Amino acid sequence: MRPSIITLLTDFGTKDYYVASMKGVILKINPQCFLVDITHQISPQDIREGAFLLAHTFSYFPKQTIHLAVVDPEVGGKRRPILLKTRNYFFVGPDNGLFTWVGEKDGVDQVVELTNPKYFLSPISSTFHGRDIFAPVAAYLSLGVRPESFGKRIDQWVTLDWKRPEEKGKRLIGEIILIDHFGNLITNIEKKRFFSFIKNQPFMIKVGKKRISKLSQGYWEGKKGEVMALFGSMDFLEIAVREERAQERLKAERGDPILIERGE
Amino acid sequence: MRPSIITLLTDFGTKDYYVASMKGVILKINPQCFLVDITHQISPQDIREGAFLLAHTFSYFPKQTIHLAVVDPEVGGKRRPILLKTRNYFFVGPDNGLFTWVGEKDGVDQVVELTNPKYFLSPISSTFHGRDIFAPVAAYLSLGVRPESFGKRIDQWVTLDWKRPEEKGKRLIGEIILIDHFGNLITNIEKKRFFSFIKNQPFMIKVGKKRISKLSQGYWEGKKGEVMALFGSMDFLEIAVREERAQERLKAERGDPILIERGE
Amino acid sequence: MRPSIITLLTDFGTKDYYVASMKGVILKINPQCFLVDITHQISPQDIREGAFLLAHTFSYFPKQTIHLAVVDPEVGGKRRPILLKTRNYFFVGPDNGLFTWVGEKDGVDQVVELTNPKYFLSPISSTFHGRDIFAPVAAYLSLGVRPESFGKRIDQWVTLDWKRPEEKGKRLIGEIILIDHFGNLITNIEKKRFFSFIKNQPFMIKVGKKRISKLSQGYWEGKKGEVMALFGSMDFLEIAVREERAQERLKAERGDPILIERGE
């Protein structure tokens, strides 16, 4: 039989007992399941960043993988704990928008509010539902407990708005949505959108004071220190500098605008 | 059959070959066992921090889990390598106090000094017993080798003092014992102790120049930027700031005092 | 049956979706295999550092382990993707020198250029062959697909020069090749070389302005704050400071020279 896989995505970091205690709780319930870290370095309380990263990672895993995601600033407050079943995957975590784009991409089958204490640790702390609710629910799910056993089905859940690039005449205005480990600036301008906007015309990409008029195929293309625009592995327009960090080089920050100007 | 689980807790970080070589050694001896990282980011040589974290994590794992812990400033010196069996778990590492509180919590069954070279790598380096002694011993233990096979039973082992809060009249003086990934200040004042001290009277919590006169239920309760006192998931009094880092906000450091003053 | 083990060594860090998407791809193809991180914190684009670390880690794992290594500044360019089979292990990654020293240590059996798209994701991005080529190839290899199925055998592959210490009369000149998590300065002077050079004479080790005239057996030997020279667990001469970071204490950097002077 193939083992169940549970992935973990949190903003907990790896220096404390938070992640390990969740893993312990899971393995106590299902000692056979495989645990895979997506990341624990989501910026603290940054639901949007977590949602984005999860949406670009979940589908690489085998179908039926259970994705446990906890970026949870409202823990212990009114936000609901949920289980979201998409066509091919399961997601467990807080109902705060974290599952917005996985739902959009894979199609939502059902959403259950987690209310059945039979599948929680006891007592439940008011500060750490990752350990007390989400981890045990994910573990029982991996044992084959059916979604509806965890609570009542709900029809509404929280979703976030995706900041789409805006078109103003001959300008497309996007923004930097993520800066990766290499200091590459990942924008919200998707490949399709870019090409449908520029219509085979010449173009100019403006980021800070920098102007770029062509697309590169890969990081290797530039000379050392050259600022390049290219489409990265998630198919978003990305600004990179050969063997340097674009973030420092262009003094860029998340949220900074990026402009595409189309010629005639 | 359920797989054996070995956890790892070290101060080795994850950028070098230290942790990976330990995992390789274990898997060479028992390729079936599950490896789970607790953390590798214990502050370098900080036995006390390692002991504290281990004590709050070990019992979330399934019974019979083997916890391999290496914070080992005296490696190659006179400190002994040991295997400590508590009622429900196994611990392998240096005899320097790292197992003080797991022993207190779970009850010590037997302690064995690791002296049988049959279960060590050969030759043994004088700087890396994690790889040469502790990893192979944990691996053989996971295969069912009995504790007494690894060496001779001992009756004394190193324990650390736990810094308990001090009571002076109407003041309870504790300290910050850990600052977590979110910058929350975790103190050594336990929930039970706090409530038995304040005796239902009004109270004032003093940390640096900050005064707090109530307890919050969760991080969500405060307004953005509000300094709060609450009991965290380990049941210690904790100072947190909503969506900020209390550490920076209060310029606090580990070891700083925290005062509870009880009213009439 | 014992599970297949695939290790991962990259310069990707752990905050993005890079590593997790590779793991997902592998588990989709072979859900039974064990994944073990060597490290993801190789300095960005530093092939030499990756090659060095891999060479000191690979052989601790069980024979037949598949080591997937991606430090790949030329991704999408002309460098070839390869599979290198040594006597006891498999290596998958870019042909840029990353496998220089594992080949030297374990003996190269065969090298295959990865050209068979049957074992790649489709389409292949030009920026992330870790996910699109190397991960699926490693996964299929773990299922028993034979090396020659992935492409054509090649006779030449890229190797790096190892910077050996230079002997000039009574001086042996080495350099700092790695600074570890503890701030210890690891040099390229091997134990054997050191002793064959000093010929039982007194010696003086010079690093920056510091002079050291003896070898310590372990980190525990020094007084707090003492600068020591010793042979570390990889058998290279290493400069360490008891309970401090030699890196900061000596203001040392990778590449800095270290001198051994032999007396009469």
pLDDT at C222: 82
Of C17, C76, C131, nearest to A220 by CB-CB distance is C76
User: Counting Cβ atoms within 10 Å, is residue C194 exposed (0-12), middle (13-18) or buried (19+)?
Assistant: buried
Burial class (CB in 10 A: 0-12, 13-18, 19+), A234: buried
C5-10 vs C34-39, strand pairing mode: parallel
The pLDDT assigned to B261 comes to: 96
With H, G, I as helix, E, B as strand and everything else as coil, classify residue B90: strand
pLDDT in tens, A233-258: 999 999 999 989 999 999 999 999 99
Cα separation of the two ends of chain C: 60
| B contacts of A76 (beta carbons < 8 Å) | 217-220
Distance to chain B for A116, nearest Cα, Å: 21
Dihedral sign of CA atoms C185, C191, C197, C203 in order: positive
Q: Do C233 and B73 touch (CB under 8 A)?
A: no
The per-residue pLDDT for C6 is 98
Per-residue pLDDT of chain C (264 residues; tens, 9 = 90+): 557 999 999 999 999 999 999 999 999 999 999 999 999 999 999 999 999 999 999 999 999 999 999 999 999 899 999 999 999 999 999 999 999 999 999 999 999 999 999 999 999 999 999 999 999 999 999 999 999 999 999 999 999 998 899 999 999 999 999 999 999 999 999 999 999 999 999 999 999 999 999 999 998 888 888 999 999 999 999 999 998 999 999 999 999 999 999 986
Record: contact B60-A24, CB cut-off 8 A: yes
Domains and CATH numbers, chain B: 5-154 (3.40.50.10790), 166-262 (2.40.30.90)
Longest Cα separation, chain B? 66
Q: Minimal CA–CA distance to A204: which of A152, A263, A250?
A: A263
Three-point CA angle C144, C149, C150, nearest 5°: 100
**Residue B39, beta-bridge partner list:** B9
What pLDDT score does A87 carry? 98
In angstroms, the CA A5 to CA A138 distance is 10
Q: Cα–Cα distance between C132 and C128 in angstroms, integer?
A: 6
pLDDT attached to residue A163: 87
Q: Give the pair of three-digit tokens for residue B102.
A: 């797991």
Could you tell me whether strands B108-114 and B151-154 are parallel, antiparallel, or unpaired per DSSP bridges? antiparallel
From C182's Cα to the closest Cα of chain A, the distance in A is 16
What is the rounded CA–CA span in Å between residue C228 and residue C81?
A: 43
Name the strand (E) or helix (H) holding B229.
strand B227-231
For residue B24, give the chain C residue with the closest CA. C61
What are the helix (H) ranges across chain C? Answer: 18-29, 47-55, 100-106, 129, 135-142, 191-198, 246-249
Q: Residue range B253-260: average pLDDT?
A: 96
Let me know how long chain B is: 264
Return d(Cα A224, Cα A242) in angstroms, integer: 5
CB C240 within 8 A of CB C230: yes
- Are A39 and C23 an interchain contact pair (Cβ–Cβ within 8 Å)? no
- Chain B CB contacts of C221 under 8 Å are 77
Residue B229 contacts by C-beta under 8 Å, 6 or more apart in sequence?
A: B205, B212, B214, B215, B216, B237, B238, B239
- Do residues C61 and C7 touch, judged by C-beta distance below 8 A? yes
Nearest Cα of chain C lies from the Cα of A169 at a distance, in angstroms, of 31
Classify B172 as helix, strand or coil. Answer: strand
Closest CB to B126 among C3, C181, C217 = C217
Q: How far is CA A156 from CA A72, A73, A97, A152, in A?
A: 19, 20, 11, 12
Calculate ∠ Cα A109-A113-A115, nearest 5°. Answer: 140
pLDDT of residue C2: 59
B144-173 tens-digit pLDDT: 999 999 999 999 999 999 889 999 999 999
Q: How many degrees, rounded to 5, is the angle at CA A252 between CA A246 and CA A51?
A: 95
Cβ proximity of B241 and B226 under 8 Å: yes
Picking from B40, B233, B243, the nearest residue to A45 by CB comes out as: B243
Kindly report the nearest CA distance between residue A40 and chain C, in angstroms: 7
> Positive or negative CA dihedral for C258, C243, B71, B258?
negative
Asked if B17 lies within 8 A of C56 by C-beta distance, the reply is: yes
Give the residue numbers in C contacting B (CB under 8 Å), as ranges. 2-3, 5, 7, 34, 36-42, 53, 56-57, 59-62, 65, 178, 180-182, 217-221, 230-234, 243
Is there a contact between B21 and B14 (Cβ–Cβ < 8 Å)? no
Mean pLDDT of chain A: 95
Q: Which chains touch A (3 or more CB pairs under 8 A)?
A: B, C
- Provide the shortest C-alpha distance from residue C165 to chain B (in Å): 22
Strands B108-114 and B81-86: antiparallel
Whether the Cβ atoms of residue C67 and residue C91 lie closer than 8 Å to each other: yes
Do A57 and C32 lie within an 8 Å CB cutoff?
no
Compute CA B255 distance to the chain's CA centroid, rounded to the nearest angstrom: 16
pLDDT per position in chain A (264 positions), as tens?
A: 557 999 999 999 999 999 999 999 999 999 999 999 999 999 999 999 999 999 999 999 999 999 999 999 999 899 999 999 999 999 999 999 999 999 999 999 999 999 999 999 999 999 999 999 999 999 999 999 999 999 999 999 999 998 899 999 999 999 999 999 999 999 999 999 999 999 999 999 999 999 999 999 998 888 888 999 999 999 999 999 998 999 999 999 999 999 999 986
Q: What is the Cα C7 distance to its own chain's centre?
A: 13
Q: Count the Cβ atoms, other than its own, within 10 Å of residue B135.
A: 30
Q: What is the pLDDT of residues B81-110, one digit of tens each?
A: 999 999 999 999 999 999 999 999 999 999
Q: Is C207 helix (H, G, I), strand (E, B) or coil?
A: strand
Beta bridge partners of B174: B258
Q: Taking CB atoms and an 8 Å limit, are B131 and C60 in contact across chains?
A: yes
CA-nearest of A19, A92, A101 to A56 is A101
For A47, C99, C117, C154, the CA distances from C145, given in Å and listed in that order, are 41, 21, 14, 18
B66 and B7 Cβ atoms separated by less than 8 Å:
yes
CA–CA separation, C186 vs C164, rounded Å?
Answer: 14
Phi-psi region of B17 (alpha: psi -120 to 50; beta: other; left: phi over 0): alpha
Nearest by CB to B20, which of C36, C42, C243?
A: C36
Residues in chain A within 8 Å Cβ distance of B60: 20-21, 23-25, 28, 131
Residue A134 is given by DSSP the state I
User: How many other C-beta atoms are found inside a 10 Å radius of the C-beta of residue A118?
Assistant: 10
Which of C33, C105, C219 is the best mutation test for B, with the most CBs of B within 10 A?
C219
How does pLDDT run across B113-131, given as a tens digit for each residue?
A: 999 999 999 999 999 999 9
Instruction: Tell me which chain B residues have a C-beta less than 8 angstroms from the C-beta of C40.
Output: 14
**Concatenated DSSP letters of C102-165:** HHHHH-EEEEEEE--GGGS-SSPPSS-HIIIIIHHHHHHHHTT--GGGGEEEES----PPP---
Write down the ipTM of this complex: 0.95
Is pLDDT of B2 > 70?
no
Q: What percent of chain A has pLDDT over 90?
A: 92
Angle at A142 between CA A139 and CA A148, to 5 degrees: 90
